[in-house]
Amino acid sequence: MRDLVTVQAKAVPAEPAADVLTIARTQAELPLPMMMRKVAADYGTSFNQMLADIVRLGFGPGKVSVEEYFNLRLFDTAALAGADKRAFVGFDGMRRIWEEVNHDRTWCAVLTDKLASTTLLGGYGFPVIPIPAIYSQTLSFPGGTTQILRSPDALRAHMLDPTHYPMFGKPTDSLQSLGSASFDGLDAETGMLTTVDGRAVLLDEFIADVTTHYAGGYLLQKRLSPHAAIRAICGDRLATVRIVTINPKSGPQILRACWKIPAGPNAADNFWRPGNLLGTIDLETGRIGRVVSGVGLKQSERLTHPDTGSVIEGFELPVWAEAKALALDAMKVFQQMGMIGWDIALTDNGPVIVEPNWTPDLALPQIADRRGVLDDQFRGFLAERTCEAARQLKSVRRDLRKEHRDNAQRVIAGAAKG
């Protein structure tokens, strides 16, 4: 689901690290005194100004925490260029937004399950990545095109088939790309898998990680290649665009978008992984503007990709118009949902939906754009959804009262006849 950049202990699964798969993010202490001294020295923001901002934004509509104040670089007034700091939202603010705009939970379970959402969207004819196999000790469904691997031996047999490579794997309900893996191939004689970044890992260790941590469901897909223009920048690994759509009464709209760019040893493009990049997208043209790596005081701007040296700033995303249309059309499937974040891969054959998220990480477009999401467009939409939620609640209460009256009348009528 969400690709949370914000460092929040409550948002990080408390599980032990796996040998092959990264199943949890490490949590570091926030060196607050050191950071405040450095900000004061390098950016001219006084201690009193930082403390005033932290209190004001923490109690403001965005509920920005101390960590998020620094991660979002809200201390850098000059770089914000007049942007309203109160328009930024932190994790607590996001959670309230998710609950408010997606108050009708009709589709939430489907959107949370990657197999279910992929199957549904594919059934409607949208381009998705097929799921030929899933390891699960609990799922059971007959027929279909997805094979269920019920045992470690069945998983091993699937992994030994050379026609399944290059391969990408991920849990059915993962968030932040935790538990994902990307393999170029397998040496059957040595039992060594080759990862997309050239590392070698034991097949037995991968199987042990999957069977230990993801007994409920682990998807295995043929790895999709990005568009040739994107391969030239970051190699043969997906660099998806995150397109956040909202669903006002006037019809689906694109709220924000950004480009997640993998770099270094990372197979997944999630921005929290060290070394990955994040690019600003001009919604009209698909042209990439500012590109950054890291958050807070560790953030730096990049003109070129660190692996290939290819220039990123000014690059125009291929099939961008088609990607926007795809996100807007797919949003119409989930008419009751108020907001969805779409991860869309841009390929030689057009855009492909990788996965939808009903709890999209709004920190990503805020970091990319240096602008909070609580602008006039989004505030108007939130007000509309709040009114809609109140109207629905009133309707439900009215129906319940009518049902109670009807039941009471039936009881009275029955007693009178008796």
DSSP code of residue 353: E
CA-based nearest residue to 163, from 199, 118, 196, 133: 133
**Sheet containing 277-281, strands listed edge to edge, beginning at the edge strand earlier in sequence:** 300-301, 288-293, 277-281, 253-261, 241-246, 339-347, 350-357
Q: Are 252 and 331 in contact (CB under 8 A)?
A: yes
Question: How far apart (Å, rounded) are the C-alpha atoms in residues 129 and 150?
Answer: 22
Asked if residue 385 has pLDDT above 50, the reply is yes
Give dist(CA 125, CA 138) in Å, integer. Answer: 28
Determine the average pLDDT of the residues in 100-127: 93
CA–chain centroid gap for 304, Å, is: 24
pLDDT value of position 397: 58
Residue 253 pairs with which residues in a beta bridge?
246
C-alpha triplet 380, 382, 387: angle, nearest 5°: 100
348-364 tens-digit pLDDT: 999 999 999 999 999 99
- The DSSP string of 24-35 is S-------HHHH
The alpha carbon of residue 156 and the mean position of all alpha carbons in its chain are separated, in whole angstroms, by 29
CA dist 193 and 170 (Å) reads: 16
- Residue 412 CA to residue 138 CA, distance in Å, equals 49
pLDDT tens across 67-98, in order? 999 999 999 999 999 899 999 999 999 999 99
- pLDDT at position 10 is 34
Question: What pLDDT sits at residue 231?
Answer: 95
Strand 218-222 to strand 339-347: parallel, antiparallel, or no bridges (unpaired)? unpaired
Rounded to whole angstroms, the maximal C-alpha distance in the chain is 89
Rg, the chain, Cα only: 24
pLDDT band at 4 (very low <50, low <70, confident <90, very high): very low
**Confidence class for position 16, pLDDT limits 50, 70, 90:** very low
CA distances from 92 to 60, 75, 190, 207, 416 (A): 11, 20, 48, 36, 56
Select from 228, 251, 271 the least CA-distant residue to 325. 251
Q: What is the pLDDT of residues 92-102, one digit of tens each?
A: 999 999 999 99
Burial pattern 226-261, b for ≥16 Cβ within 10 A else e, equals: bbeebbebbbebbbbbbbbbbbeeeebeebbbbbbb
d(CA 89, CA 220): 35
**DSSP-based three-state secondary structure for 301:** strand
Q: E strands, 348-407, where?
A: 350-357
Average pLDDT over residues 183-207: 90
Say yes or no to pLDDT of 65 above 90.
yes
- Asked if pLDDT for residue 400 goes beyond 70, the answer is no
Rounded Cα distance between 155 and 137, Å, is: 11
**3-state helix vs strand vs coil in the chain, percent to 5:** 40, 20, 45
CB count within 10 Å of CB 383 equals: 10
Spatial contact of 91 and 11, defined as CB atoms under 8 Å apart: yes
Higher pLDDT residue, 214 or 389?
A: 214
Rounded Cα distance between 312 and 417, Å, is 82
Q: Give the pLDDT confidence of 287-316 residue by residue, as tens digits.
A: 999 999 999 999 999 999 999 999 999 999
| pLDDT tens digit sequence for 155-174 | 999 999 999 999 999 998 87
